[in-house]
Amino acid sequence: MIQVYIDAEFDAVRYQKRFEQAVISFGAVACRQKQMLDTFYTLVRPRYFRHLTPVVKKMTHLKDKEILAAEPLEVVTEHFLSWLQRFGELADIQLYSCGPDDRRTLMKNCAIHHIDGALFDRIQDLQKEISATVKFQNKIISPSLSLDDMKLIYDIQGAVDHNALNDAKDLMYIHQRYLDGNAQNAQRILDIVNRKEAKQQEVRRKQNERLRTMMIQQFQKYPKEFVKIPLLPEVIEQFQLWEDRETRTHMHWKRKKFIQGEMCYPYDELQLWMKNDLQDEMPSVSLRFLHRQKDVVKKYPLHYRNATMVEAILKRVLA
């Protein structure tokens, strides 16, 4: 069996009033029993191509004039097929890629250009297979590790440079070490886990910061002290909408009574106050329930799911 590792670089090209991902370079490495037989590399000129986007130009170090001088996909596909046939019958050749994007984009590009894409339909995704074996504390650290991360885990030197041929070679080295059962670098795995957690924490921090800013802007005009809330039908309706959107509050606003946990308050015996706390690290809304001798305060985060209802209640009460 011949193993062929492929990689393609893409860029967005406007096609029929919308942008489509188009192949701009294609690389492949052919191997037999871990021995590299040959390599294939070419640039590709997409139909309707005008210029590379700034991000792709910076990432791939390719130039517009290089892409404009390249062969179109239909010609590249013929050259690639002829190159493969040098190694024997196609049935004895297995194509591999890292991730689903190569297969999906190549197939779609072939369909747009009316090219037989059956060859690319046989591509096997190694990313999912290898990622499933990389674990930390018996848990898969990611279902789709990047080529960079897999290189780190298998101690393959050098950064991914987004050159289709070099990336195809990296995938070959990774797969060979994976098949050999080479030990995965535990420290590198821990580094990846820590990096991903730090990134997630930073994303959460920015989301919370953005939420806090929006809530302050929305509610700073309302009183900062408790406001008495009359339990009018239209007010109860807003609380019911809040309940529907956020079941974790465990609030149940019935037609004639309010239930939360073991508390059950008939509306005609209940007094209710509301206060927004905007000085907290995360804005919140407090509800104070006064029923006979019970005086209970419940605090809830103020966010996108309940802000509309809270503001509607305050507007109705303060009108």
Contacts of 260 (CB under 8 A, 6+ apart): 250, 251, 252, 298
Burial class (CB in 10 A: 0-12, 13-18, 19+), 5: buried
pLDDT score of 48 more than 90: no
Q: Which helix (H) or strand (E) holds 195?
A: helix 186-219
pLDDT score of 84 more than 80: yes
> Are the beta carbons of 164 and 41 closer than 8 angstroms?
yes
What does residue 292 show for φ and ψ, rounded to 5 degrees? Answer: 55, -115
Two tokens at 13?
């090209």
Task: Name the residue among 136, 146, 68 with its Cα closest to residue 101.
Answer: 146
pTM: 0.75
Q: What is the pLDDT of residues 244-273, one digit of tens each?
A: 988 777 889 998 999 987 778 899 999 999
**What radius of gyration do the chain's Cα atoms show?**
30
Distance, in Å, from the CA atom of 244 to the CA atom of 215, rounded to the nearest integer, reads 21
Task: Name the residue among 176, 132, 152, 143 with its Cα closest to residue 5.
Answer: 176
pLDDT score of 206 more than 80: yes
Whole-number pLDDT of residue 274: 96
Task: Name the residue among 5, 55, 45 with its Cα closest to residue 29.
Answer: 5
The alpha carbon of 236 is separated from its chain's Cα centroid by a whole number of angstroms, namely 38
Residue bearing the bigger pLDDT, 16 or 21: 21
> pLDDT confidence of 27, banded at 50, 70, 90?
very high
Q: Which helix (H) or strand (E) holds 31?
A: strand 18-32
What does residue 307 show for φ and ψ, rounded to 5 degrees? Answer: -60, -40
Share of the chain above pLDDT 70, in %: 100
Two tokens at 308?
């509309």
Task: Name the residue among 312, 305, 205 with its Cα closest to residue 249.
Answer: 305
Whole-number pLDDT of residue 8: 96
Whole-number pLDDT of residue 69: 96
Q: Which residues pair with 44 in a beta bridge?
A: 71
Give the mean model confidence (pLDDT) for residues 76-81.
Answer: 96
